Amino acid sequence: MADPFTRLIAISQQTERLLEQRFGAQGRGLHEKLSSVADRVPEKIQKKIRFIATIRNKATHEDVRIAKENLPAVRQAFAEVLPALDGGASKRRAALRKALIALGLIAAFAAFLALR
């Protein structure tokens, strides 16, 4: 498992990518990218993203131990941010996966019946 600092960086980067891909965010860091699309992101989500960015910046520029101390809170914030930023894409992927499995089972059953 990755150390807390590495995990914190990964969460920050994933949040940045979602802002870029879904909203067309631009800027140097997470704060700037969020500011560039703030009018389209709910305030509650903005606060959570800014929290993630602040902890990432403090861990990077002040003390790496901040990552370990705050990782549970960052993970919780990201868990709330992710559904708002991915536009339900993960739910759609899960539903599609279930549908494909069901179709596969139906096809297998049909093939079984044909062989009888």
Q: 21-30 pLDDT, tens per residue?
A: 999 999 999 9
pLDDT digits (tens, 9 = 90+) for 53-95: 999 999 999 999 999 999 999 999 999 999 988 875 555 555 5
pTM over 0.75: no
Round to whole Å and give the CA distance between 102 and 99. Answer: 5
**DSSP summary character for residue 2:** -
Average confidence score pLDDT of the chain = 86
Q: What is the DSSP string of 5-64?
A: HHHHHHHHHHHHHHHHHHH---SSSHHHHHHHTGGGS-HHHHHHHHHHHHHHHHHHHT-T
Spell out the domain ranges in the chain. 4-85, 88-116
What percent of the chain is predicted at pLDDT more than 90?
A: 66
